[in-house]
């Protein structure tokens, strides 16, 4: 990462894309074997307030499961997901040594092979056919100030992904429309996404941005709140409402239907109010590294 100074030019930090490959390889394995501490804490807190025998037993097994995965370095869940990769690239960084997209996919390929992770990607949505190496990654790049590259790997399982939903509301639907949609989506998901769930909500932007916001909401710590007190309160209220549904761990009935809910927002058009709800499970994985 030697900084190169050319005459009459600003200093530009150079980063070889092979370093991004190496980091993604490592993060794919770590994310799949070690659940984030905030997710573990949320599960443990929910266990403490679950009285039912079956519900409590399920949460005990979920805790035992992530402890085994930690200790024995094995995947927490067999659905090791599609590799969602978020790159925040400092605008003062010059990436060298090859194609960035190829470097990212190479990292996924190596990580899923070396980590004995399941290859769950098909090369065509209709004609199917496994690609055999879990590529391509679902890759998002953002240019940010600075001279670092921040890499987040979020392996996303599809039991929960399949239960997600997006709706383009009329602005007249208001706050109540959004609240009802979030609860309806979780209720419709029921036992399918391996509850207790983590719920990511994206409100605003365009059709595509709302969905991306919802995915990013899943990458945010469950100990954090939306910085806007209005949305922080809405996060709390929605989590309470969801936990009044009674779906419970694995859908067997109980208090703990969701262990967390994060909301992300963007400004939107005068005519619209998009809302996306991305459902995730108790194995909500993400791991971040900085180069």
Shortest gap between Cβ of 142 and other proteins (angstroms)? 30
Cα(103)–Cα(229) distance, rounded to whole angstroms? 40
Peptide bond into 196 cis (omega under 30): yes
Residue 230 has φ and ψ, to the nearest 5°, of -60, -45
Cα(127)–Cα(31) distance, rounded to whole angstroms? 30
Classified as helix, coil or strand, 256 is coil
C-beta of 117 vs 234, nearer to other proteins: 117
Compute the CA torsion angle 173, 220, 209, 265 (nearest 10 deg): 40
Shortest gap between Cβ of 147 and other proteins (angstroms)? 37
C-beta of 152 vs 284, nearer to other proteins: 284
Shortest gap between Cβ of 253 and other proteins (angstroms)? 3
C-beta of 79 vs 235, nearer to other proteins: 79
C-beta of 58 vs 85, nearer to other proteins: 58
Shortest gap between Cβ of 40 and other proteins (angstroms)? 13
C-beta of 18 vs 192, nearer to other proteins: 192
Shortest gap between Cβ of 288 and other proteins (angstroms)? 22
Cα(76)–Cα(79) distance, rounded to whole angstroms? 9
C-beta of 243 vs 262, nearer to other proteins: 243
Shortest gap between Cβ of 171 and other proteins (angstroms)? 34
Strands in 138-144's sheet, in edge-to-edge order, are 138-144, 82-90, 149-156, 287-290
Alpha-helical runs (H) found in the chain: 17-33, 37-48, 53-72, 100-114, 158-161, 174-189, 207-219, 229-242
Residues that bind other proteins (CB under 8 A): 52, 54-55, 57-58, 61-62, 64-66, 68-69, 72, 74-80, 116-120, 128, 130, 132, 159, 162, 190-192, 194, 244-248, 250-255, 281-283
> Locate tokens 């940010």: which residue?
144
């Amino acid at each position: 990462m030697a900084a190169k100074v050319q005459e009459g030019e600003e200093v530009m930090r150079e980063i070889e894309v092979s370093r991004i490959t190496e980091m993604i390889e490592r993060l794919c394995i770590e994310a799949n074997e070690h659940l984030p501490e905030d997710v573990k804490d949320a599960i443990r807190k929910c266990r403490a307030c679950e009285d039912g025998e079956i519900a409590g037993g399920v949460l005990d097994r979920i805790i035992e499961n992530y402890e085994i995965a930690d200790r024995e370095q094995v995947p927490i869940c067999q659905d090791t997901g599609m590799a969602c990769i978020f790159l925040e690239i400092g605008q003062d960084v010059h990436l060298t040594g090859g194609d960035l997209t190829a470097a990212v996919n190479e990292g996924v390929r190596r990580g899923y092979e070396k980590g004995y992770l399941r290859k769950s990607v098909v090369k065509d949505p209709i004609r199917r056919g496994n690609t055999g190496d879990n590529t391509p990654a679902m890759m998002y790049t953002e240019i940010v100030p600075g001279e670092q590259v921040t890499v987040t790997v979020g392996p996303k399982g599809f039991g929960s992904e399949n239960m997600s939903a997006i709706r383009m509301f009329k602005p007249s639907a208001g706050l109540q429309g959004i609240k009802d949609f979030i609860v309806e989506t979780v209720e419709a998901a029921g036992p399918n996404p391996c509850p207790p769930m983590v719920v990511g909500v994206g409100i605003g932007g365009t059709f595509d941005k709302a969905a991306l916001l919802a995915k990013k909401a899943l990458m945010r710590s469950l100990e954090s709140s939306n910085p806007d007190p209005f949305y922080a309160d809405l996060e709390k209220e929605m989590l309470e409402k969801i936990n009044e549904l009674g779906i419970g761990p694995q859908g067997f009935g109980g208090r703990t239907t969701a262990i967390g809910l994060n909301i992300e927002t963007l400004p939107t058009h005068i005519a619209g109010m998009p809302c996306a709800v991305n459902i995730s499970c108790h194995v909500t994985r993400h791991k971040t590294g900085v180069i």
